[in-house]
Structure 1
Amino acid sequence: MPKFKLEYIWLDGYTPVPNLRSKTQIKEFESFPTLEQLPNWGFDGSSTQQAEGRSSDCVLKPVAVYPDSTRVNGALVMCEVMMPDGVTPHPSNTRATILDDVGTWFGFEQEYFLYENGKPLGFPKEGYPAPQGEYYTGVGFKNVGDVARQIVEEHLDLCLDAGINHEGINAEVAKGQWEFQIFGKGSKRAADEIWVARYILLRLCESYGLDVEFHCKPVKGDWNGSGMHCNFSTEYMRETGGKEYFEKLMAAFDKNRDEHIAVYGPDNHLRLTGLHETQSIDKFSYGVADRGASIRIPHSFVNNGYKGYLEDRRPNSQGDPYAIAGRVLKTISEVPTA
């Protein structure tokens, strides 16, 4: 039987932003393994802020598996972290406790900066490049350089090879800033694919001698920060909707503003200033096609009788998509549909 290289991926216990970790296990299977065939696997939690040295065992529980086209017989295995009994979720395991519903669809717009020698890719050694304006969806060396597009195209192919529902890429507003979009049905599936897409990007950039900066405001001053806008819809929003339901939903989002901000990523006050891409952090607003609102309403939503999807623009680029999707779904669940 062929030997498969299984790259087990998990989130460590660092706060407020966990790091991705991984290690490889070799197992024999007759063909590409199913999730049910993958065993749990232990690791040293004392080295990842998830256990003490005197009792360091933690357990990796596979929850999703994807082909890894960078390796012969390779697989990417997304895991939850469990306690030594293999049953109890570890306190750092945000995936295990969130609400989930395959009828709730999420589309995440993951922004990030490519970094070289401590600066965004394309920034001069001293000072700053030309102001924002031509970089967004830009083309040409002066706007996107010579290697960034190669990286994002390769990342796109690797994600598609893995079966991740990668829906698009574009250069973003600031120099060295890019975005990719992931769509998934259900909180856990959508978030799994964002985390694995992040992992693929980080690993890819190793070979280019570049880093990926997910901080929401890495360049101070008059430069856009990085978000992870969360587009969402439920079956009821898509099929029934209506203005009355929409207004109740927005009232629930307004009521839960602090709870949302708490899980939408650290340092969001540096990004949500009201000066660039969205509403200030201490306010809640919504508007049709309004990039400055907390919730942007697409024209299609209103034209279709207040049915379809909405876009929460507040989550930031280093937020935990498990926590974000779970919080959005929890707020939606508070609003009666009848």
Structure 2
Amino acid sequence: MTKYKLEYIWLDGYTPVPNLRGKTQIKEFAEFPTLEQLPLWGFDGSSTQQAEGHSSDCVLKPVAIYPDPARTNGVLVMCEVMMPDGVTPHASNKRATILDDEGAWFGFEQEYFFYKDGRPLGFPESGYPAPQGPYYTGVGYSNVGSVARQIVEEHLDLCLAAGINHEGINAEVAKGQWEFQIFGKGSKKAADQMWMARYLMQRLTEKYCIDIEYHCKPLGDTDWNGSGMHANFSTAYMREVGGKAYFEALMAAFDKNLMDHIAVYGPDNDKRLTGKHETAPWNRFSYGIADRGASIRVPHSFIKSDYKGYLEDRRPNSQGDPYQIASQILKTIASVPASAQVSAAA
């Protein structure tokens, strides 16, 4: 038998953005455990905004499992928060109630800032560095500094070793700003892996005395880019059938459900979605071929393939909850009239 270090990870009850939490227990198994072997585990919800002190018990239900490459015999356990009965989802548990579709594919582009001593990594103690321009996909000390690339490369290796479908990294437009991409088939699976990748990044940067700033516009109303989490999405129907009529009906549905999307695409999005810095205004829907300033960017490959493939929603921001983002996208897709699908298939 081997003693395994089980790191139970969950989202707390803070609003508008939950925090990642984690605690470890040791259990013996003959080999790397399966999800079914992992027990429920209680925690003090009064310390995480998920219960009152007079009735503080909450329960962690394992829902996804990954090897933890940073620990010997380590296991990363993604959990849902349940009520004390272990069956009823807690009100803060968004994962339990989202719309899911294993045929829906999601690719999230997570932008963020490295922060040290209260300012973006590489910023001078007062004022700003040289204007944006050389930092995006930049190389060299003056553009990316001495430690950021070391961190993102280490994070990439951790994710791959954990079985997370990490698909790439790049330095972003502002100094100290970076991006990683996570892809998954099924909204729950894709969102689980995004949250786990965030967890691994935040745990990794502890040893570098660096924080991750996910706020979508940390530098306020300045000429510095904010951070998004663009959501690339497709369904089996979009990939296999598609068609111009269906695409136009889909875009009409996104337009109609504009405010439902903005409501779950992350707080303070009005500060980021200003119509500047390659963003669409938060209160107006638009789409365009290869248009980075549109709400939905339509790849050239989508048009060339007779309106089949994936689309990119550029409005979700870096603080957004991928569970809710993916669910809202699927709800809107599901609202497209059946007549549009019949027309597309004809």
1:74-153 → structure 2 map (5 Å cutoff): 74-153=74-153
Q: Whole-Å Cα distance in 2 between the matches of residues 212 and 258 of structure 1?
A: 28
Secondary structure of the residue aligned to 1:96 is: helix
Give deviations 1:48-71, integer Å, cap 9, x for gaps: 000001110000000000000111
2:97 is paired with a residue of what secondary structure? coil
AA at the equivalent of 2:138: G
Measured against aligned partners, the alpha-carbon deviations of 1:85-127 in whole angstroms (never above 9, x if no partner) come to 1010000000000110110000000000000000000000111
Matched, 1:186 2:186: yes
- Structure 1 residues 163-211: Cα deviation after superposition (integer angstroms, max 9, x where no partner): 0000000000000000000000011000000000000000000000000
Q: Who is 2:13 aligned against? A: 13
C-alpha distance in 1 between matches for 2:332 and 2:65: 29
What residue is the counterpart of 1:31 in the other structure? 31
Q: How far 1:277 moved relative to its partner?
A: 2.0
Q: 1: CA distance between counterparts of 2:5 and 2:112?
A: 29
Instruction: Write the letter of the residue equivalent to 2:144.
Output: V
* 3-state DSSP of counterpart to 1:207: helix
Range that drifts further, 272-281 or 308-317: 272-281
- The one-letter code matched in structure 1 to 2:130 is A
Q: CA deviation at 1:16?
A: 0.1
- Runs (4 or more) in structure 1 with deviation over 6 Å come to none
Report the TM-score, using the length of structure 2 for normalisation: 0.97
Q: Quick check: 1:154 aligned with 2:126?
A: no
| Inter-partner Cα distance in structure 2 for 1:334 and 1:33 | 40
The one-letter amino acid paired with 1:153 is: E
Structure 2 match to 1:255: 256
Q: Deviations over 1:210-260 (max 9, x none)?
A: 000000000120000000000000000000000000000000000000000
What is the aligned-residue identity percentage? 78
Task: Give the RMSD, CA atoms, in angstroms.
Answer: 0.5
Q: How many residues align?
A: 338
Corresponding residue number in structure 1 for 2:330 = 329
Amino acid in structure 1 at the alignment position of 2:165: N
Q: Specify the SS of the correspondent of 2:208.
A: coil
In the alignment, residue 44 of structure 1 is paired with which amino acid? D
Aligned equivalent of 1:317: 318
Counterpart in the other structure of 1:170:
170
Structure 1 unpaired stretches of 5+: none
SS in 2 for 1:179: strand
The 1-side partners of 2:272 and 2:278 are apart by 8
Amino acid at match of 1:268: N
Q: Distance in 1 between matches of 2:225 and 2:278?
A: 7
Q: Distance in 1 between matches of 2:235 and 2:325?
A: 15
Unaligned runs of 5+ in 2: none
Once the two structures are superposed, residues 1-35 of structure 1 have per-residue CA deviations (whole angstroms, 9 ceiling, x without a partner) of 00000000000000000000000010001111111
CA drift at 1:278: 1.3
Task: Classify the secondary structure of the residue corresponding to 1:112.
Answer: strand
* Structure 2 counterparts to residues 205-284 of structure 1, below 5 A: 205-220=205-220, 221-284=222-285
2-structure distance, mates of 1:207, 1:321? 27
What TM-score results when the alignment is normalised by the length of structure 1? Answer: 1.00
